[in-house]
Structure 1
Amino acid sequence: MTRTSAVVGTGAIAHAHAQAVVDLADRARLVGAVDVDPGRAASFGAKWDVPVYPDLAELLAGARPDLVHLCTPPGSHLALALECLAAGAVPVVEKPPVLSLAEFDRLRAAEAEAGLPVVTVFQHRFGSGAVRLRRLVAEGALGRPLLASATTLWFRDDDYFAVPWRGRWELEGGGPTMGHGIHQFDLMLSVLGRWTEVTAIAARQARPTDTEDVSAALVRFGSGALATVVNSLVSPRQTSLLRFDFERATVDLEHLYGYSDANWAVTAAPGVDDLAPLWAGEPVDTPSGHTAQLAAVLDALDTGATPPVTSADARLTMELVAATYASAFTGRTVAQGEITEGHPFHDRMVGSGAPWPATPRDEG
């Protein structure tokens, strides 16, 4: 069955979505695009041979897509996703899906009312290395998880934040905790499962933002495993690192913006037989990326299953973001399930305010 897709927001990340649809041409087809910048929309339409519509309402009415890929700034995601659900289209939402847990809960309510899934783009879950690791963990082949780390050390200069929506709580929702490192620790959560508490710090070290540009957290999991999570936009030597220490092995991943099987390493504990044969099993080498996630979404839709990542999965990740900010800004440990309606960090990731002075652009 061929599913039709449309793209809203035709900036850089939209091209990754378009490429994913083209990569799956036997199963998916681009039928429309929208952007607030007509020139950018026209260029996108010409490159991908897709008609351009003046707004989402006309796209939904004219193209009637099965899926709508939302590639706009985070502050617009909720309204656009609600419009898609009301029209009977599945929203495929770039990270972060919305600006707060309150917005995410509104989205989940609309999802339930429409009877359609909302898909959050967490493409690192879908590379073959991650799929294989989750299978080995479920089978108990690696033993109990003990310790983990998720580290996103990236570099964004001041010019990066000249884009009006970047680095603003009300438009982007947060800094690297919300919009950059979220890929690494979401993958960590997909392996280790439900977290139970977090203790964190955050700072604005160097960038002209109202959000943080660095955060660090200690996370405890229901399994008893402990983890560190570090998110940075001030690190000149860029890298993305994940490490899992199990009873029987250490599993490492180092990459930057995407990985293949070559980026993973498995080290057996002393006295444990070589685990290479287990790691060499299925699935075959599939890079992480939008194509891998879209394929999994189409598989689910074709069988009537709920596509990964479910809204429950995405909410747990978003809740860790909120708890990291809440812990960093209040100086206390925050438990999973604590941030509910009425809590200051439910409505805004910044809660009642960040503990550093406003920048000149905030005041202007």
Structure 2
Amino acid sequence: MPTPSNDPSPTPDQRPDRPPAPLTGRRVRAAIVGIGAIGGGSHLPALERLAEEGETEVVAAVDIDAEAVAKFCAEHGIPHGYTDLARMLAEQRPDLVSICTPPTLHRDQTIAALRAGAWVWCEKPPVPTLADFDAVEAEEGAETGGPYASIVFQHRFGSGARHVRELLAEGGLGRPLVAHCQTTWYRDTAYYAVPWRGRWATEGGGPAMGHGIHQMDLLLDLLGPWSEVRAMAGRLVHDVETEDVSTALVRFESGALATVVNSVLSPDEVSRIRIDCERATVELTHLYGHSNADWSVTPAPGTSEADAAAWRDFGADVPSSHLAQLRELVASMRAGERPRSSGADGRTSLELIAALYKSAFTDATVRRGEIGPGDPYYTAMHGGAPGWAPGTVRGPADASPAATSPAGTSPAGTSTVGTSAAGTSEEITA
């Protein structure tokens, strides 16, 4: 294995610009950056499956742990292991780089890969802020047919999501009117023992950013552009910087209204989307991935049997998965076309999350397009809000009798939460 470097995450300007290599008549050469549970358990199996079909080959893996990456490569037959991303990009010149590292590393690693001529498949959340996303998009080869950076939003893909998207686009179900988007999971204290979790600088946000982003992205993919959001967020259990629960009301450009709930406090875990249209209700209930059986269509009274049967015919079952998305991504690479869940198509979910946080922390309705350069929520999801930004506390106007309670205690209906390394406590109303 090459000699380790002291810097596994090079700054973007360490590599010269290089156009993507032609892919005609050969396999896509792929590299995995980050060999943890996601890299080894989701990205690698998808790449290996396409390798069996003659589409890809995994030529390298990168991780900060030299011993671990050597073992990983030996176990999976990967010829080259690195601890230095820049060196791997220069020596292996991959066509595709899978980014499976913590969110705070995504921006620089993605830009480095793009500048080396590689397409990128980056785990969610793509980057911690909208400013970071725009910096990545500026490095894409939009005028040369690539390279592009695609976000892992695998719940958009598969036969179920495709069928419902087509039904909605064709208008057979009538106008979408009311929707519900729910990601209610459970994460205990041990989950937040991982240093980068629960911190704005390293994770970018709480369950809205790291968990609910998948269902929110699928909702947007099905219903189209959103127009405004009104939200609330709280820290009710976990002693972290970010929220552990949020709720939102979202209006879409079509006029449809949706409720969104994101939680890591829910023992009965479920991921759910429900869309009530004029002629039918469509519902998806699952946890971490869906197949045709997880979708249901309930026609309105008076619907013909022929229409109901057509709506319920999802065709051959293709589960949502990394594989389903990767298959489309490789096809886009070969065609030199922008892939789905990249550029503006990928940004819309991140913008909704930024708007959710801004609304929750400012107690105001936030409209699509209003968060841009100069807005504090453009460069930090917490927006510097008192009581939410690291090291800040609520002002005197927000004080209550609970403010004098001992740290870690509170009156009924509140939770005291530490917000800085020094253990500063503040109060969040339930």
Aligned-residue offset at 1:98: 0.5
* CA-to-aligned-CA distance 1:186-242 (integer Å, 9 cap, x gap): 000000000000000000110121100000000000000000110000111111011
The 2-side partners of 1:276 and 1:19 are apart by: 37
* CA-to-aligned-CA distance 1:108-140 (integer Å, 9 cap, x gap): 111157842110110000021001111111111
Matched, 1:110 2:139: yes
The 1-side partners of 2:308 and 2:174 are apart by: 15
* CA-to-aligned-CA distance 1:303-330 (integer Å, 9 cap, x gap): 2221111211111111000000000000
Aligned-residue offset at 1:54: 2.4
Q: Give the 5 Å matches for 1:197-212.
A: 197-212=228-243
Aligned-residue offset at 1:281: 4.4
Matched residue type, 1:288 = S
8 Å CA contact 2:271, 2:286 repeated in 1: yes
Matched, 1:45 2:73: yes
Residue 251 of structure 1 is matched in structure 2 by 282
User: SS at the partner of 2:298?
Assistant: strand
8 Å CA contact 1:325, 1:349 repeated in 2: yes
Matched, 1:260 2:304: no
Q: Give the 5 Å matches for 1:217-228.
A: 217-228=248-259
8 Å CA contact 2:340, 2:346 repeated in 1: no
8 Å CA contact 2:273, 2:283 repeated in 1: yes
Aligned-residue offset at 1:279: 3.5
Note closer, same or farther for the CA distance 1:362–1:128 as it changes in structure 2 (3 Å cut): farther
Matched, 1:291 2:316: no
Residue 4 of structure 1 is matched in structure 2 by 29
Note closer, same or farther for the CA distance 1:273–1:331 as it changes in structure 2 (3 Å cut): same
8 Å CA contact 2:229, 2:356 repeated in 1: yes
Instruction: Name the stretch that deviates more: 50-59 or 176-185.
Output: 50-59
8 Å CA contact 2:297, 2:312 repeated in 1: no
Residue 195 of structure 1 is matched in structure 2 by 226
Matched residue type, 1:5 = A
Moved over 4 A (4+): 112-115, 280-283
8 Å CA contact 2:289, 2:319 repeated in 1: yes
* CA-to-aligned-CA distance 1:171-196 (integer Å, 9 cap, x gap): 11000011100000100000000000
8 Å CA contact 1:193, 1:221 repeated in 2: yes
Instruction: Name the stretch that deviates more: 177-186 or 33-42.
Output: 33-42
Aligned-residue offset at 1:283: 4.9
Matched, 1:17 2:43: yes
User: SS at the partner of 1:129?
Assistant: helix
Residue 119 of structure 2 is matched in structure 1 by 90
The 2-side partners of 1:62 and 1:277 are apart by: 55
Aligned-residue offset at 1:165: 0.4
Q: Give the 5 Å matches for 1:201-350.
A: 201-274=232-305, 275-281=307-313, 283-350=315-382
Instruction: Name the stretch that deviates more: 224-233 or 54-63.
Output: 54-63
The 1-side partners of 2:379 and 2:266 are apart by: 30
Residue 101 of structure 1 is matched in structure 2 by 130
Matched residue type, 2:351 = E
User: SS at the partner of 1:107?
Assistant: helix
Matched residue type, 2:48 = V
Matched, 1:150 2:181: yes
Query: Matched residue pairs, number?
Result: 364
Residue 16 of structure 2 is matched in structure 1 by none
Aligned-residue offset at 1:276: 4.4
The 2-side partners of 1:339 and 1:202 are apart by: 19
Residue 74 of structure 1 is matched in structure 2 by 103
Aligned-residue offset at 1:44: 2.2
Matched, 1:178 2:209: yes
Aligned-residue offset at 1:41: 1.7
Instruction: Name the stretch that deviates more: 256-265 or 279-288.
Output: 279-288
The 2-side partners of 1:300 and 1:315 are apart by: 18
Where does structure 1 lack aligned partners over 5 or more consecutive residues?
Answer: none
The 2-side partners of 1:95 and 1:254 are apart by: 21
Query: What percent of counterpart residues are identical?
Result: 51
Matched residue type, 1:136 = L
Note closer, same or farther for the CA distance 1:343–1:55 as it changes in structure 2 (3 Å cut): same
Matched residue type, 1:86 = R
Matched, 1:36 2:61: no
Matched residue type, 1:39 = E
8 Å CA contact 2:66, 2:82 repeated in 1: no
Aligned-residue offset at 1:46: 2.6
The 1-side partners of 2:299 and 2:366 are apart by: 34
Q: Could you say which structure has the greater relative contact order, defined with CA pairs below 8 angstroms and 6 or more residues apart?
A: 1
8 Å CA contact 1:131, 1:283 repeated in 2: no
The 2-side partners of 1:362 and 1:133 are apart by: 47
Matched residue type, 2:49 = D
Residue 422 of structure 2 is matched in structure 1 by 363
8 Å CA contact 1:196, 1:220 repeated in 2: yes
User: SS at the partner of 2:271?
Assistant: strand
8 Å CA contact 1:210, 1:362 repeated in 2: no
